[in-house]
Structure 1
Amino acid sequence: MVSTLATEPLTKADPLFGKNHFTLIRWVLAGFVALGHFWLTTTGYEPFRIHQWTGGYMAVNGFFVLSGLLIMKSLATRNDLKSYTASRLLRIFPALIVIMLAFGLIFAPIFSRPGGLPNLVSAETWSYVLRVLVMGDPQGAPGSIFAGNLEEDFNGPLWTIRYEMAAYILAAVAFTIGLAKRLSTTLMMWTGATAIYLLLPHIIDTSSLPASILPFFRLSSCFLLGMVLWHWPAARRPPWWSIAMVFGLFLAFGAGPIGEFLATLSLTGLMLRLGLPDQTFDPLLRLPDYSYGIYIWHYPLIQAVLFFIPDLGPIQIMVISTPLFVLVAGLSWHLIEKPSLRLKRRIS
């Protein structure tokens, strides 16, 4: 049986069920990821940080907190795994398939050295495409992609996609068996994932573990925090003084082992207050959701520009590449993502 707390949000007064600014929040998070990469791809260093925590790093955490909240909302209100599965697949895969086809047909032959037809027909090229689409490790693209660039990598941000899909699956399992239907059990899962992430590096030598272990618990902690917020409506309206207090603790102790935890709590509070405001601004409600397109397209397009004009600085690459990837993200939303999402209604 779903807890009382889980049913409380089903009111017209709750902006989570009506007008909110979460689309804008996703734009801002995607923008911070791109902003860091303007510097990383040209200087090798992302300067936008407090202590060691960069803006792009924390933006990924923010994405997973929002995702956990909205996924829990979807599971609890629909209670239909068929519709849920269709929605998740249609949200992630159509745009991902397109960008991976672009890798095989455009990026591999044109933006590699030596490139050309051999890369277009290479089994290595298409095995990489398949590897990414089946949620394998997207690092280490073949064919000397972007050879000569400071960062010789096709699309660094794709590393989070497989963790997002794992979170969708595990959330559905937890909901089906009842663990995610109550605040108490959801809170226990979040506490456990967070404790493992924070304490594991201080207990054992994590270099001997698979490289995916710590990122899994890091992003699971963020995702589960969002799920907790679904069951705890009052926590979705944190007072400004509490956000300021947690941020103050982050400024004081953020360089230590609890730094990321405090930063994530501060960011979550800020996203909630700005994303679920008392009054909405109508033009922002009509903002199309280009965030996923910006997230998956900005990096290869930055790299493509630098492949041909290698001496650009971060401001120059920002000015040149931003219109390109926003345009491509817009095309992705209007021609691929939005039409794909309409299909879920037929399935439902």
Structure 2
Amino acid sequence: METHRRNNFDFLRLLFAGCVIITHSYPLAGSKECDWLCQFTNGQYIFSWIAVRGFFVISGYLIFQSLERSRDLADFYWKRILRLFPALAVVLILTVVLGPFVYENDTAYLLNKSVRTYIPNNLRLYRIQYDIPGIFDRNPHKSAINGSLWTIPFEFTMYIAVSLLFFIKSKRIPVIVVLLLTYLFLAKLDVLNFTEIQKWNYFILDWYLIELGVYFAAGSLLAATRMADISQRHLLIILIISLGLFVFSTGQPIFSFASVTLLPIIVLSMGLLPVYGISNVTEHIGDLSYGIYIYGFPVQQTLVYYFGMDHVSLIFTSLIISAILAYLSWRLIEAPALKLKNLKPIPILIQKTRGIVRVNLKGFYQKR
């Protein structure tokens, strides 16, 4: 991650990961899915609602910058693969290996077809398998082993979408125009309710692709328009005004419009205004946000299975355990994997020939 100055993005992602665990603790413990923020705002927000959208805003911002720095598409995708898949593969493997300790089913564990398909289906992303029959079947939130995986296919889809800008990335104005039009299109669909979208025959688009895509597009658009170049004084003014308008819109008919326009500005303004003590948090503990996110749900389900915790106990216990697992994941899996980013396992040269994209594979594990 490279920007013009120190920032709080790693801290914000860490905060958002914790927010997801807080919200999940309620339904996983058998309570109504209404966390502290939900109760305070009379059901208008929940922590995970803001957190997931904040994740996608920051991702859109940073992934667009990564695309700008990438030498070719192979370089871009290799870095994305290293960031997502090694840690994901390990948590999936651990799930299957430790599964027998929470398994209750008449079918022998290794004879259960779902056990054999769990890892390959989830690594394929677009066939997410949430359960293995017999695991957590007696929990309040039955069967789901890792419900947090649902956002990862959408995240990777955004990577594919933004990578299409690679061929015009040196042309700033066309890039901004494409991102602006994409943002406006998705924002229009997001502001419409689901019933209205069906009437307009937009059912071919997955609702969450719209819901999350608009925030990713907003983050990319603000990166392309060089939001990082705005002075800290002006950023602070923008943050205060945007936050005030966002809070004012709570419970109002304009809330959907306010969320897709103001939330990205709020998140990125908070990220670009460095705060002493938190802007360098990853230098001390590492980037734990992804690890907390992918370990949190199965940790919570396991704690409920063995100890039947209420949501308050579950929040604090699962945060501690998930943070420890995330730290180990960062030190042993994620950080070592990211050191391989200068390797090119499949150098791909993409050329346009008579309107056809031809892919030539040359070499294996060559240095850049």
> Which deviations, in whole Å up to 9, do the C-alpha atoms of 1:299-346 show, x marking residues without a partner?
100110110111x21221123222211111111111011111111122
* Aligned counterpart in structure 2 of residue 138 of structure 1, from 117, 123, 128: 128
Amino-acid identity (%): 27
Secondary structure at the aligned position of 2:137 is classed as coil
Task: Give distance in 1, aligned partners of 2:185 and 2:141.
Answer: 36
Corresponding position of 2:16: 29
* Aligned counterpart in structure 2 of residue 90 of structure 1, from 74, 82, 95: 82
Q: CA deviation at 1:131?
A: 1.4
Contact 1:229–1:236 (Cα < 8 Å) also in 2: no
Contact 2:73–2:166 (Cα < 8 Å) also in 1: no
User: Over aligned residue pairs, what C-alpha RMSD do you find?
Assistant: 2.8
Aligned length: 331
Contact 1:41–1:150 (Cα < 8 Å) also in 2: yes
Corresponding position of 2:33: 45
**Aligned: 1:271 with 2:272:** no
Task: Give distance in 2, aligned partners of 1:104 and 1:209.
Answer: 38
Corresponding position of 1:243: 239
The amino acid of 1:259's aligned partner reads F
Corresponding position of 1:7: none
Task: Give distance in 2, aligned partners of 1:103 and 1:321.
Answer: 16
Distance 1:261 1:99, change over 3 A: farther
Distance 1:53 1:139, change over 3 A: farther
Contact 1:290–1:329 (Cα < 8 Å) also in 2: yes
Corresponding position of 2:194: 201
Contact 1:21–1:280 (Cα < 8 Å) also in 2: no
Q: CA deviation at 1:202?
A: 5.2
| 1:124-163 map, 5 Å | 124-138=114-128, 140-152=130-142, 153-163=144-154
| 1:214-225 map, 5 Å | 214-225=207-218
Q: Name the TM-score, length of structure 1 as normaliser.
A: 0.85
Distance 1:26 1:64, change over 3 A: same
Corresponding position of 1:332: 329
Task: Give distance in 2, aligned partners of 1:278 and 1:215.
Answer: 31
Deviates more, 1:139-148 or 1:264-273: 264-273
> Which deviations, in whole Å up to 9, do the C-alpha atoms of 1:255-282 show, x marking residues without a partner?
3564244235444334333322256547
Corresponding position of 2:347: none
Corresponding position of 1:314: 311
Q: Name the TM-score, length of structure 2 as normaliser.
A: 0.81
Corresponding position of 2:158: 167
Question: 5+ residue gaps in structure 1?
Answer: 1-14
Task: Give distance in 1, aligned partners of 2:326 and 2:245.
Answer: 37
Contact 1:137–1:159 (Cα < 8 Å) also in 2: no
